[in-house]
């Protein structure tokens, strides 16, 4: 992928469709990528926005 220290989602099963998360060295940016993406596209956001996404998913029992 890239020089980021990627962590695979604990919800990932076998196969190519796994979410990977990395935090920038300054902890100001959260990076997301999907292992099945041949172009290795990276979505970047703030920790607050990523946290809000996780909270919304948990409220809706999606993770």
Q: For residue range 15-42, list pLDDT tens digits in order.
A: 667 888 999 888 899 999 888 776 778 9
Instruction: For the beta carbon of residue 9, count every other beta carbon within 10 angstroms.
Output: 14
Sequence spans of domains, the chain? 7-58
Whether the full predicted model's pTM is greater than 0.85, yes or no, is: no
- Band of pLDDT at residue 47, cut at 50, 70 and 90: very high
- With b for 16 or more beta-carbon neighbours within 10 A and e for fewer, the 26-56 pattern comes to eeeebbbbebeeeeeebeeeeeeebeeeeee
Instruction: For the beta carbon of residue 8, count every other beta carbon within 10 angstroms.
Output: 11
How far apart are the two ends of the chain, measured CA to CA in Å? 24
């Amino acid at each position: 992928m890239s020089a980021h220290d990627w962590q695979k989602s604990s919800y990932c099963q076998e196969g190519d469709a796994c979410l990977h998360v990395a935090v920038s060295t300054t902890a100001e940016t959260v990076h997301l990528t999907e292992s099945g993406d041949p172009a290795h596209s990276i979505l970047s956001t703030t920790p607050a926005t990523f946290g809000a996404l996780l909270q919304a998913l948990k409220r809706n029992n999606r993770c």
